[in-house]
Amino acid sequence: MAGIFLFDSVRLWLHRRSRRKKLQLAANWPVVAAEVNHWAVVPADEDANTFGAPFQIEAGFHFILNGEYYGGYLRSVGLAGGEAERLAKGAPTVNARYNPANPDATAVFAEDNADNLPFKVFSS
């Protein structure tokens, strides 16, 4: 049984390391205003799940760049179920970063969206 816990720990460490590298690269990408077009309340990721906050809001968004549509997803920090349901509404503007070489690669930073969303973003 101990092998499973070791495997899970290594897997989680690799996932966090990959996410951290992506965010470091994305910090230099241009920012674009995107529009939320889909909301869902989902079980929280391992990184965001906390006691009393087992859900996250997942929002799909799109933006137009040079006449082409691109998009991505963002997730909130961990939230309680009722709070997540109440906040997952509307069509707010999301500040998303995109890779100029591949605009399908996006990242959403919490600090870029502190004032325009009704919940805190889990940077991804």
Q: Which of 5-9, 47-51, 69-73, 74-78 has the highest mean pLDDT?
A: 69-73
Q: What is the pTM of this model?
A: 0.80
Residue-wise pLDDT tens digits, 80-108: 988 999 999 888 999 999 999 999 999 99
Share the mean pLDDT of the chain: 86
Quote the pLDDT of residue 40: 94
Q: Which two tokens stand for residue 120?
A: 């805190």
C-alpha dist (Å) from residue 105 to 2, 74, 101, 113: 37, 12, 9, 18
pLDDT digits (tens, 9 = 90+) for 45-55: 777 667 778 89
